[in-house]
Each structure stands twice: as C-alpha cells, then as structure tokens.
C-alpha cells in the first residue's frame, strides 16, 4: 500500500494495486467439476454407460441386419464398428471440451478489487474507488481502528447496483482519527494482505 499526502491541501491520499480475499488468497486453478452448474449432467455416470450403450446398440443392430439379409461382409462390419465408435464418442468429447473451456475462462478471479484509490474529499470524509473485471455488487464497512465488525458502518456502492467500477464516500470521520475498512466485492470481503485498509485523517 502506498500512502501519499497532498502537502498543499493537507489531504489524505492512498493507492493500493489490488486487494486480497479476507479468508486468504484463492488459487487461480479450480477443479472443472465445480466450474459451471449448467453442465452438471456431464458428470453423470449415465454419460459413460450411455455412450457404451450407443456403441453396442449400433453394432448389434447392424450385425442383425447383415445376418437377416445373409450378406455378412468384413468391410461392412469394420465400417459399422467405426461409425458406432464415432457416434458413441461424441458425448465424451463434448464433456472434455466444455471442461477445458470452462477452466480456461474462469481461472482468473473476477471479483478482486483493483486500482483502489482513497482520497480525502472534505475534512470529515474520504472517497474510496476501485474497479473489478466484471460487474458485481460492492460496499465498504469501516470504523475506528482497530476495526470492530460489530460496530462497523456499512456504505453501499452505486445505490446497490452491479458495476465494474465502484465509488463510496465515507462520512462523519473525525480529524486526526485512524480508521480501518474492508471492501465487499460480490459475496467476498477483501482487505490489504490480511489487514484492514488503513485510513488516516489529517
């Protein structure tokens, strides 16, 4: 965290490149099994058994037709096996492709607040602004240091609307006071490397 003070105006100013989740840093790689609930059916055992059923079903039906017509041919049998294998492998291939795509697109956390700027607006207020990679709800809880969550005040960003850019004004601060804050992005709280964000009012 870089703390800078505007000596001309005597106002507090600070910048933070990015915050970290309060519960700890989240690894970028996540199991594809938990990536997208819309494709939960891909993990059903019926997918594998169904593919095997399709393979043997096509094969046996083709063989029965050849036996009835008394025209069993090795090349035709080989072609039947190839077609049955291709058709049966489609569900498995789809599952693999969707897992890869989902993992690649969701590997980077999208709700981490970045480019945080804390700038004093008046002798008793500061504005905290930040941006994220996707639209999320945002808010700030703050209070005198050390931060007491039971007594912390909550200020909601953007009138409770989802956005990729957030700006919150913290008011009724005391001159000379030391304050701490945490930012809510989406459904997770963030702080500065495991510690609340520090705010010092001149």
Domain count, the chain: 2
What's the whole-number mean pLDDT along residues 170-197?
Answer: 95
Q: Within this chain, do residues 83 and 177 fall inside the same structural domain, yes or no?
A: no
Kind and range of the H or E element at 86?
helix 74-105
* pLDDT at position 145 over 50: yes
User: In the block, which residue shows the tokens 């004093």?
Assistant: 120
Residue 64: pLDDT band (50, 70, 90) is confident
Q: Within this chain, do residues 143 and 94 fall inside the same structural domain, yes or no?
A: no
* pLDDT at position 28 over 70: no
Query: Which range of residues forms the domain containing residue 118?
Result: 2-25+109-200
Q: Within this chain, do residues 38 and 20 fall inside the same structural domain, yes or no?
A: no
Q: Which domain-ending residue is among 105, 140, 160?
A: 105
In the chain, % helix, strand, coil (3-state, to 5) comes to 35, 35, 30
Q: Does residue 103 have a cis peptide bond before it, meaning omega lies within 30 degrees of 0?
A: no
Q: Which domain-ending residue is among 53, 75, 105?
A: 105
Q: Which domain-ending residue is among 83, 105, 127?
A: 105
Residue 172: pLDDT band (50, 70, 90) is very high
Q: Within this chain, do residues 128 and 193 fall inside the same structural domain, yes or no?
A: yes
Question: Rounded CA gap, 132 and 139, in Å?
Answer: 13
């Amino acid at each position: 965290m870089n703390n800078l003070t505007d000596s001309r105006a005597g106002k507090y100013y600070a910048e933070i490149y990015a915050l970290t989740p309060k519960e700890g840093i989240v690894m970028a790689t996540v199991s594809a099994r938990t990536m997208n609930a819309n494709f939960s059916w891909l993990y059903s055992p019926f997918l594998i058994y169904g593919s095997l059923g399709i393979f043997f079903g096509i094969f046996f039906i083709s063989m029965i037709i050849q036996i009835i017509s008394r025209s069993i041919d090795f090349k035709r049998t080989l072609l039947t096996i190839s077609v049955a294998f291709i058709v049966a492998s489609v569900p498995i291939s789809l599952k693999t492709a969707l897992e890869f795509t989902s993992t690649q697109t969701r590997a980077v956390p999208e709700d981490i607040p970045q480019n945080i700027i804390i700038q004093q607006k008046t002798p008793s207020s500061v504005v905290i602004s930040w941006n994220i990679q996707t639209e999320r709800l945002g808010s700030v809880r703050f209070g005198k240091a050390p931060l007491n969550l039971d007594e912390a005040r909550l200020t909601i960003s953007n009138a409770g609307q989802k956005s990729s850019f957030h700006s919150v004004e913290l008011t009724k601060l005391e001159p000379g006071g030391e304050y701490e804050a945490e930012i809510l992005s989406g459904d997770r709280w963030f702080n500065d490397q495991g510690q609340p964000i520090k705010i010092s009012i001149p």
